[in-house]
Amino acid sequence: MDLEEKVVAHEPIYDGAIINVERQTVELPNGEKAYREIVHHSGAVAVMAITPEQKMILVRQWRSPIARPTLEIPAGKLDSRDGDDPQHAAIRELNEEIRLHPDHLERLAGFYSSVGFSDEYMTLYLATDLRPVQSELPRDKGENLNIRAYSLAELKTMVKNGDIEDAKTVMAVWRFEMMQQKSR
Amino acid sequence: MDLEEKVVAHEPIYDGAIINVERQTVELPNGEKAYREIVHHSGAVAVMAITPEQKMILVRQWRSPIARPTLEIPAGKLDSRDGDDPQHAAIRELNEEIRLHPDHLERLAGFYSSVGFSDEYMTLYLATDLRPVQSELPRDKGENLNIRAYSLAELKTMVKNGDIEDAKTVMAVWRFEMMQQKSR
């Protein structure tokens, strides 16, 4: 089946610091017209950081879209400092957020966070063999964080009762469970 | 640590069909000002539909934000037809997209897809005991889909080589792997 939608017009809506928004007019395979609202984003990285005690490190931070704090794995946007290298961004975010450097860093998967309306692409890493960083990078203005490590049992309870309600963090908990099942 | 950011101004940017965009001026805990760009979304559901042959059903559809097709688990936005009931929306989407009704439907998790800039909340379900629907609901205009079921081995390869690159679908594959590990 032909799926392609041809873009017949672009209407710029908003050119922001983090996102750009546009409205496209597309021609469907059957010839009809439709509209698509699109949020462009530079991409992001997220890191499952696992301690020697087999705990996963989460950060608590304020999230404006939902007007309250969340518990999440360390993550951040790709920016010009990274030269678009997600691995470098992952190491930088671990330094900025939890002040640790991973001697082992492994790409687990890459995916679009919400491909229905956005092109934000996230790369998820596993970081182990963590040690304190030699020099601390400055945090973003307004990057206020609480940091703690949690066992798998704690994490599973937190997903169940809604204390963890961030997509990449739920993914990380499931992956962590899979890793622990396999190592038994 | 006090994390709260107080909203001191809202600037509406765009009032669309699927998304609303606003820019907030916030006061950080240290008293400084910052800006937050926020994409409001009505929420969504996604469904891991597992056949009796232990295969997962994926749909291929065009995705405007990345200008190509993706392979994803069935999913859709919450809308007024659901009265905000995600379980009802899950059943509706399975009907619209794959023409199957689940005799077993189980909530696996709920999460914000990309909480850094959006309040889109997704509820993920597991659907089994699938049977053909008695009456087919109409599809959205421009909802062109290809449908196929895949084994876990196929799915894992597709995540690895990037044929699956949608967050909720990667989550579903990992959950499927966990289910199959446990049932062994």
In this structure, the answer to whether residues B48 and B37 fall within a common structural domain is no
CA distances from B45 to A94, A128, B81, B85, B179 (A): 31, 33, 14, 10, 20
ipTM > 0.85 for the complex: yes
Prediction pTM value: 0.96
- Any CB–CB contact under 8 A between B70 and chain A? yes
- Residue B147: per-residue pLDDT: 93
pLDDT confidence tier of residue A66, bands split at 50, 70 and 90: very high
> Are A116 and A139 part of one and the same domain?
yes
Pairing of the two strands A100-112 and A6-15: unpaired
End-to-end CA distance of chain B: 45
> Does residue B58 belong to any structural domain of this protein?
yes
Residues B16 and B52 in one domain: no
Verify that B162 and B116 share a domain, yes or no: yes
> Could you read off the pLDDT of B36-81 as tens digits, one per residue?
999 999 999 999 999 999 999 999 999 999 999 999 999 999 986 6
By CA distance, what is B108's nearest residue in A?
A160
- The verdict on A107 and A130 lying in the same domain is yes
Residue B1 lies in a domain: no
Digit-coded pLDDT (tens) for A67-126? 999 999 999 999 866 667 999 999 999 999 999 999 999 999 999 999 999 999 999 999
Read off the CATH number of the domain in which A60 is found.
3.90.79.10
Is there a single domain that holds both residue B34 and residue B71? no
Find chain A residues with C-beta within 8 A of B1's C-beta: 144-146
On whether the CB atoms of residues B45 and B125 are closer than 8 A, the answer is yes
Mark whether B48 and B35 lie in a shared domain: no
Which tokens hold the place of B170?
């990667």
Nearest to A117 among B19, B60, B122 (CB): B19
Sort A31 into a burial class: Cβ within 10 Å, 0-12 / 13-18 / 19+: exposed
- Position A145 scores a pLDDT of 77
B122 interfaces chain A, CB cutoff of 8 Å: yes
Return d(Cα B136, Cα B156) in angstroms, integer: 32
Q: Does A162 touch chain B (CB under 8 A)?
A: yes
The residue among B140, B141, B144, B164 whose CA lies nearest residue B152 is B164
Q: Is residue A171 part of a domain?
A: yes
Does B103 share its domain with B136? yes
Residue A59 and residue A15 share a domain: no
| Shared domain check, B175 and B88 | yes
Say yes or no for a CB contact (<8 Å) between B144 and A1.
yes
Cα–Cα distance measured from residue B152 to residue B11, given in angstroms and rounded to the nearest whole number: 47
Q: How far is A180 from chain B (nearest CA, A)?
A: 11
Residue B143 lies in a domain: yes
Kindly list the residues from chain B whose CB atom is less than 8 angstroms away from the CB atom of residue A31. none
Q: Say if A1 falls within a structural domain.
A: no
Cβ of A65 and B5 within 8 Å? no
Query: Cα separation of A59 and B115, whole Å?
Result: 14
Question: Do A30 and A55 fall within a single domain?
Answer: no
- Report if residue B140 sits inside a domain: yes
Please state the domain count of chain A.
Answer: 2
**Domain around B28:** 6-41
- A120 closest CB neighbour out of B2, B4, B114: B114
Q: Which of B2, B117, B168 to mutate to test binding with chain A, by most A CBs within 10 Å of its CB?
A: B117
A68 plus A119 within the same structural domain? yes
Q: End-to-end CA distance of chain A: give it in Å, rounded.
A: 45
